[in-house]
Chain A
C-alpha cells in the first residue's frame, strides 16, 4: 500500500477513525465470509457482495441520526450492517434460516428492520427510488424531521422511475437523499457503454435538484457530504443527490466471472483507493493506533463474523408452516 499519500492529515477524531475502521472491516469480513459460505453451498440463489464500497454506507451512517430511514437495492448487506442490524440475523437470512431477519423468506436481497429503519432490500432495479421518496413523503406528512437515504446504482440511474421520483421529490420538497453508488458497472455493462450522460448527479439538475459527486472511497469525504445533504433536507429544502464514486472488487453477483474488466483495473483500485487501507493509514500515521491495536480489532471483527456464520449454519430452516404466514397482515 505504498501508493497512498501517508502524509495526509485527517480532520476526524481518533474515535471516529476507529469507528470507521471497525464498521468497514465488519462489512468486508462479513462479505468475505458470505462468499465462502456461498461456495460451500450454504447460501443459494443470488448473492451480491459489497466489498470495495464500504466507505459509502459507513460514512453516511456516521452522518445520520436515530430515526432516519434507508432503503436500497439487492446489494444490501453493507447497508444493513452499517445501520446496526445484527450480523447474525443477516447471515442467517443469507442461509435461509429461521433466525434470519425475514425468517428465511426473504433471502440475500430482501431483508428489513423496522427497528433500525431499514426498508429493504429490493430486487427490481430502480424500484427502491420512488419507494424511498415515499418514505420521505410520509416523514414530511407526519412532520417528524427525518430524512431518508435512497440508495441505487449507476445501472438503476437509467431507469425511468428514478426520474419520475426526482420530479415529484423536488416538486414536493421531500426530505430524501438520493445516493447513487456509482461503481461504474451495471452488472457487466460499464458506464461508457450505457450512457453518454455520465454525470449522474448532474441529471438531477434538470429537475432542479442540487447534488454533487463525492469520492466514495474516502469515508471522511462521504460523511462530510452526507452531513451537508442532511442539513439541506432537514431544513425542508430537499431532495439532494450524492453521486458516490466507488468500486466493487467482486463480480456483480457470486456467479459473475467479471470478464468485462481487467484484473489490473481491479488491482489498481485496491492498491490505490481502498477505503479501509486509507483509514488504517490515517490511524497509524496520525499516531491514533498501533499495528497491534488494529490487529486486536481485526481479531474482534473476525470473531463476530465467525459467530454470525456459526449462528447462520446452526439456525434451523423455517418451519413448514412459515410457507403460509405473512401473506396478509
Chain B
C-alpha cells in the first residue's frame, strides 16, 4: 500500500521549512534509515531519513520549495507494481498529532502595520527593512562587536555549532574563537568567569541556551553581578549582558518552560529587558551591550523566527525605561511585554470588532519600568488589563496593579485584571499546555469584564 511521506517537524517550534534538496528520485528503492532529503528549518539544515521501505513513487514537492508546512505530504512511497496515485490523502490528519502545535504561533507579524507615531524610536521617513527577531539580535551583537573590542560572546554552542537557536550564526567566522567562545555545559562556572571578566574590564555577552539553565548560575547573576557596584561603594561595576530564550517554547515540558521576567525584575542592580518586536530586539540589545550595568535580556524562542520591520540605520538604539504604545485606544489599557504582546494585540483586534477601543502598551523593559506611560494611559481609559506568560503570584501585573492603585485609584472604573500563565508547572500534553498558557480569549474576556460588557 502506498505511504505518504510528510514534511517532518524537526524542532519543538518548527511550523514550516524549506525542502532544500532531494537525495532520492522517482523510481529509487528506499531502505529505512536512508536519507531522503535535506530540510532547512530557520535554525539548521537537517537530514530527513526514511522510516519505511519502498519505491519512491512520486516527489510531490520540488526541491528548493520554501514554506512547506509541517505534515504536508512531500512524497509517496509505493510497493513494487503499485501506482503512486493510490496514496490515501484522507489519512494525513490522523497520522499527525503534531499538527495540533501551539495555535498562537500561527498568527504572525500582522500587527506590525499599526505602529503608533507617538512612540516612534526613529525619525519619520527612516527606511525600513524586514527581518526576523533572530537576525535582529545577531545584527545587534555583531555591530557592537565590530565597534568595541572588549565585547565578546560566550555560551554553550555559540561558536562552531552556530548557536543552539542560530542567533550567533556566522559570528565565529567573523570574529574568531577569541571573541566567540564555546563553553562546556557549566552555567554556574562560566557565568562566574564572565562576571569576573567584566570586573576585569571586558564587556561580556553571556548566552544561555535558555534561561531555565541560568538558574544554575543565578547566584553569580544576583550576588556577584548585580550587587558588586553597591558593595564596593561605586568602585567596581559589571558591564555584562545575560541573554537567551525565556518562557515557554512548545511542548518542552515543565523544566524548559518558564518565564523569569518577574524574578529578575525584582533585583536592584539588574536591568531587565524583554522585547517583542525585531526592532526592539535590535535597538534594546545594542543599548544593553553599551550599558555599564548587568542586563538581563529575555528572548523568546517562538518569536525568534517572526519577522518585523526594522529601521535600516547604521546605528540605532532604544533607551531603557520607555514603553511603546503599539495601538492607541480610549476604552481600556492593555499592558504587556515580550510574547504577551501577541495576545494583547490579537485581543485588541478582536475587541475593535466589538466596538471596544483598546490601547496596547509594550513595556519593553521591566527594570527600569515606564510607569508614566502606563499611568497616563490608565488615567485616560480608566481601565486596565495586564498580560504576561509568567505565574500569577508576584507577577509583573501584580506590581503594576499596585502602582496603578496607589497613583491612579480615583481614575479606575474597574479593578485591574492580571492575565497570566496558570499557577502550575508547565504540562507536556498539548491540550494541557494550551490551557496553562495565557490566551487571547482570556485577554478578550478580561477586557470585557473591566468594561462591564
Is the CB of B263 closer than 8 A to any CB of chain A?
no
**B228 close to A134 (CB less than 8 A):** no
Complexed CA–CA distance, A71 and B195 (Å)? 13
Is the CB of A129 closer than 8 A to any CB of chain B?
yes
- Nearest Cβ in chain B — how far from A94, in angstroms? 14
Complexed CA–CA distance, A172 and B184 (Å)? 11
**A103 close to B233 (CB less than 8 A):** yes
Complexed CA–CA distance, A201 and B268 (Å)? 38
Is the CB of B231 closer than 8 A to any CB of chain A?
yes
- Nearest Cβ in chain B — how far from A122, in angstroms? 7
Interface residues of A in 141-173 (CB under 8 A from B): 141-142, 160-161, 163-165, 167-168, 171
Interface residues on B, range: 35 or more
Is the CB of A213 closer than 8 A to any CB of chain B?
no
**B192 close to A131 (CB less than 8 A):** yes
A131-B196, A132-B196, A142-B201 in contact; A326/B233 too (CB < 8 A)?
yes
Question: What residues of A have a CB within 8 angstroms of the CB of B201 in the complex?
Answer: 138, 142
B236, B268, B293 pick with most chain A CB within 10 angstroms: B236
Complexed CA–CA distance, A323 and B200 (Å)? 26
**B219 close to A124 (CB less than 8 A):** yes
Question: What residues of B have a CB within 8 angstroms of the CB of A100 in the complex?
Answer: 233
Question: What residues of A have a CB within 8 angstroms of the CB of B200 in the complex?
Answer: 69, 119, 134-139, 142
Residue of B nearest to A98 (CB): B233
Complexed CA–CA distance, A133 and B195 (Å)? 10
Question: What residues of A have a CB within 8 angstroms of the CB of B199 in the complex?
Answer: 119, 131, 134-135, 138
A120-B231, A131-B195, A135-B197 in contact; A141/B152 too (CB < 8 A)?
yes
Question: What residues of B have a CB within 8 angstroms of the CB of A87 in the complex?
Answer: none
**A124 close to B192 (CB less than 8 A):** no
Interface residues of A in 91-145 (CB under 8 A from B): 100-106, 110-114, 119-124, 127, 129-139, 141-142
**A134 close to B152 (CB less than 8 A):** no
**A328 close to B196 (CB less than 8 A):** no
Is the CB of B234 closer than 8 A to any CB of chain A?
yes
A124-B223, A164-B190, A167-B184 in contact; A138/B236 too (CB < 8 A)?
no
**B235 close to A130 (CB less than 8 A):** no
Interface residues on A, range: 35 or more
Is the CB of B186 closer than 8 A to any CB of chain A?
yes
Question: What residues of B have a CB within 8 angstroms of the CB of A127 in the complex?
Answer: 192, 219-220, 223-224
**A134 close to B193 (CB less than 8 A):** yes
How many A-B Cβ pairs are below 8 Å?
Answer: 153
Is the CB of A329 closer than 8 A to any CB of chain B?
yes
- Nearest Cβ in chain B — how far from A277, in angstroms? 36
A127-B224, A131-B199, A141-B152 in contact; A326/B229 too (CB < 8 A)?
yes
Question: What residues of A have a CB within 8 angstroms of the CB of B223 in the complex?
Answer: 122-124, 127
Is the CB of A320 closer than 8 A to any CB of chain B?
no
A130-B192, A168-B186, A329-B292 in contact; A138/B202 too (CB < 8 A)?
yes
Interface residues of A in 65-80 (CB under 8 A from B): 69, 71
Question: What residues of B have a CB within 8 angstroms of the CB of A130 in the complex?
Answer: 188-193, 195-196, 220
**B152 close to A161 (CB less than 8 A):** no
**A133 close to B196 (CB less than 8 A):** yes
Is the CB of A11 closer than 8 A to any CB of chain B?
no
**A168 close to B189 (CB less than 8 A):** yes
Is the CB of B194 closer than 8 A to any CB of chain A?
yes
Give per-residue flags for B171-200: 1 if the beta carbon is below 8 A from chain A beta carbons, else 0: 000000010000110101111111111111
Is the CB of A262 closer than 8 A to any CB of chain B?
no
**A328 close to B198 (CB less than 8 A):** no
Is the CB of A235 closer than 8 A to any CB of chain B?
no
Complexed CA–CA distance, A69 and B188 (Å)? 22
Is the CB of B269 closer than 8 A to any CB of chain A?
yes
Interface residues of B in 216-244 (CB under 8 A from A): 219-220, 223-224, 228-237, 239
Question: What residues of A have a CB within 8 angstroms of the CB of B292 in the complex?
Answer: 328-329
Is the CB of A40 closer than 8 A to any CB of chain B?
no
B200, B220, B231 pick with most chain A CB within 10 angstroms: B200
Tell which of A121, A132, A133, A328 touches B293, judged by Cβ atoms closer than 8 Å: A328
B152, B197, B201, B233 pick with most chain A CB within 10 angstroms: B233
- Nearest Cβ in chain A — how far from B369, in angstroms? 14
- Nearest Cβ in chain A — how far from B186, in angstroms? 4
Is the CB of A13 closer than 8 A to any CB of chain B?
no
Complexed CA–CA distance, A130 and B152 (Å)? 18
Complexed CA–CA distance, A113 and B236 (Å)? 8
- Nearest Cβ in chain B — how far from A202, in angstroms? 20
Complexed CA–CA distance, A71 and B196 (Å)? 10
Question: What residues of A have a CB within 8 angstroms of the CB of B190 in the complex?
Answer: 130, 164, 168
**B232 close to A102 (CB less than 8 A):** yes
Complexed CA–CA distance, A297 and B282 (Å)? 62
Complexed CA–CA distance, A167 and B184 (Å)? 9
A101, A103, A104, A106 pick with most chain B CB within 10 angstroms: A106
Complexed CA–CA distance, A122 and B196 (Å)? 12
**A326 close to B192 (CB less than 8 A):** no
- Nearest Cβ in chain A — how far from B87, in angstroms? 53
- Nearest Cβ in chain B — how far from A320, in angstroms? 15
Question: What residues of A have a CB within 8 angstroms of the CB of B197 in the complex?
Answer: 134-135, 137-138, 141
Is the CB of A327 closer than 8 A to any CB of chain B?
yes
**B192 close to A134 (CB less than 8 A):** yes
Question: What residues of B have a CB within 8 angstroms of the CB of A102 in the complex?
Answer: 231-233, 235
A to B CB contacts below 8 Å, 17 in the list: A71-B196, A102-B233, A114-B235, A120-B228, A120-B231, A120-B236, A127-B192, A131-B196, A133-B193, A134-B192, A135-B200, A138-B200, A161-B192, A164-B188, A326-B233, A329-B229, A329-B234
